[in-house]
Structure 1
Amino acid sequence: MSPPRQQPVLAFAVALAAVAVLSVMDAVMKGLVLSIGLYATSVWRALVGVGLSSVLYLPQRRAWPSPKVVRLHVLRGAVVTVMGLLFFFGLARVPMAQAIALTFIAPLIALFLASLTLGEHIRRRTLGASLLAFAGVLVIVGGQVRNELGEGVLVGTFAILGSAVCYAVNIVMMRRQSLAAKPLEIGFFQNVTIATLMVASIPIIGLPAWPGDHWPGIFAVAAMSFTGVLLFAVAYARGEASYLAVTEYSGFIWAAVLGWLIFSEPVSPYTLLGASMIVAGCIFAARDKPRPEPEMEALA
């Protein structure tokens, strides 16, 4: 299949929308993990996600993707599984704003991974915007260091940093995957891979707890996760990974607001200062419209 025409402004806007949807999902996931545990939440969300994506993808598919594309789907699904488990483990132990701030090493890592693996050129404006936004993250983390660490925060912090490294790999893989397949196909195979890995762990970990009254939340996070995957697939098919990675910084604003409203997590002056720097970086990057790039050969 031939890659879609590059539309950097549209791609940037759609990526921002994806971050917003997934930020709300993070808030609901944190509540579920605190209520029924990480394992049960992950298993039931994955199974619901398979059902939802199957209903949308299977009736309209024309042919199965090539083995090369399937391998890419499965590999990214495995990366996303590890990434999600680490992140939500940490999120249950760390305030949302701080957790999201820690993940912001991912776009910087992704910039250089995209350059090494996809041959993308890192423009000075994009790099400068990322550094400005990351400086805002350092301000936030510096403010958090001044507070006393609660029980499990240090372990949660390392888990989130591990998730951030996985997410950097994921960002680059999204670019290749989005050039090789359509959004519904990507969402379907991601859900199937995650569900397969989670179900395969049942003989080792045991049966997950029954969600009970939490089924609405399970369905909500599955739907938001799938929507986020679709939006990112659309965005990364129309914009370079190094250009769109900066949109991840906007997730901090959502995390700070949702953490305060839902979990009564305070927002410090350091957080507000860092957030303003992050927003400035996103705006700065959005003004940098990439030059038309040569059509990348899609995976067949």
Structure 2
Amino acid sequence: MTTGPSHHTDPDQIRARLTGIALMCGAVLSFACLDAIAKYLNGYMDTLQVVWARYTGAFVLTLFIFNPVSRPGMMRTKRPLLQLVRSAMLLGSTVTNFLAFRYLQLDQALAILFSTPFIVAILAGPVLGEWIGWRRWVAILVGFSGVLLVTRPGVGDVHWAALYSVASALFYSLYIVATRVLSKSDTSDTTLFYSNLVGAVAMLPVMPFVWNTPDDPFIIFLMVAFGALGSFGHYLLIVAHRLAPASVLAPFMYTQLVWAIGFGFMIFGDVPNSWTLAGAAVVVASGLYLLHRERVRGTA
């Protein structure tokens, strides 16, 4: 009997992709823990001290692996100004995001932050020359409507701190665009090193004005674990993208919303309202459609 041509997938490739997906889920879980710790620490210290702990811990821990001694030339960059701007955008996103955690539930802040892919798609045209078609414009508008469902501007029961999450999404979108530009000239090690260095150095002069010495061993442990989780999460993210294409991994970033809802309920007693769930569903669906269009475009 004659059969049509069969298409076999390399078992090693399948194994690598499944491993990459598992690592991506681990990275997202690390980031969800990071957010929960940030919200928890906000109740014991100034938000700027929380940000300092995040960057200083990550910088010190990664310095043992990524440093100019073990990797000569790592600090050499072809675009130093853009490196500083990119790091400043990431710092701005972190500060505004942690400020939002002081007032909002984890799921609310994260649902708004998930609007980042839409903002990146808008900026990619004028900045990167990656113009989008009408289908993706429709997805962007639908995604924006999902953000409006979460924030509900003009409705009294939505906290004004939702503006912090909006600002965080804007900063993070600029950070992503700058990262894509730098990927053509600098290595990932160089870019990661500057991200942690600039954040740690920038927060240092602020500490004398906001410092509150923790006396609870558990709080000290959380501050140390804070930086470790950030470094560990980014490490898993890097390895995952080495094993599997970004288009395969991207949908799994939305599992962070599930973790955020779970941690919010277990740690803070927060129950997501129907508006947040509906808005998050619209944002996720729109983001997945944008991802689908990218894959179609890449295949073509």
TM-score (norm 1): 0.75
Deviation at 1:240?
Answer: 8.8
| 1:25-77 deviation line (CA, Å, top 9, x unaligned) | 11111111112231222223322211111111025413234343443332211
Alignment partners' CA distance in 2, 1:129 and 1:53: 38
- Are 2:36 and 1:27 equivalent residues in the alignment? yes
Deviation at 1:269?
Answer: 2.5
Alignment partners' CA distance in 2, 1:211 and 1:69: 43
Alignment partners' CA distance in 1, 2:253 and 2:137: 14
Aligned to 2:121: 111
2:45 to 18, 33, 36: 36
The answer to whether the Cα contact below 8 Å between 1:43 and 1:198 also exists between their aligned partners in 2 is: yes
Aligned to 2:276: 271
Q: Cα 1:231–1:19, aligned 2, differ >3 Å: closer, same or farther? A: same
Alignment partners' CA distance in 2, 1:271 and 1:264: 16
- Are 2:220 and 1:210 equivalent residues in the alignment? no
**AA at the equivalent of 2:186:** A
Which has the larger Rg? 2
Classify the secondary structure of the residue corresponding to 2:214.
coil
Which residues of structure 1 form unaligned runs of 5+?
Answer: 1-8, 294-300
Number of residue pairs aligned between Structure 1 and Structure 2 = 277
Aligned to 1:64: 74
Classify the secondary structure of the residue corresponding to 2:103.
coil
- Are 2:60 and 1:55 equivalent residues in the alignment? no
Q: CA RMSD in A?
A: 3.6
The answer to whether the Cα contact below 8 Å between 1:174 and 1:236 also exists between their aligned partners in 2 is: no
Which residues of structure 2 form unaligned runs of 5+?
Answer: 1-16
- Are 2:142 and 1:138 equivalent residues in the alignment? no
The answer to whether the Cα contact below 8 Å between 1:17 and 1:231 also exists between their aligned partners in 2 is: yes
With 209-218 and 113-122 compared, the bigger mean Cα shift is at 209-218
**AA at the equivalent of 1:210:** P
**AA at the equivalent of 1:106:** T
Alignment partners' CA distance in 2, 1:118 and 1:16: 29
Deviation at 1:92?
Answer: 0.7
TM-score (norm 2): 0.75
Aligned to 1:171: 176
**AA at the equivalent of 1:279:** V
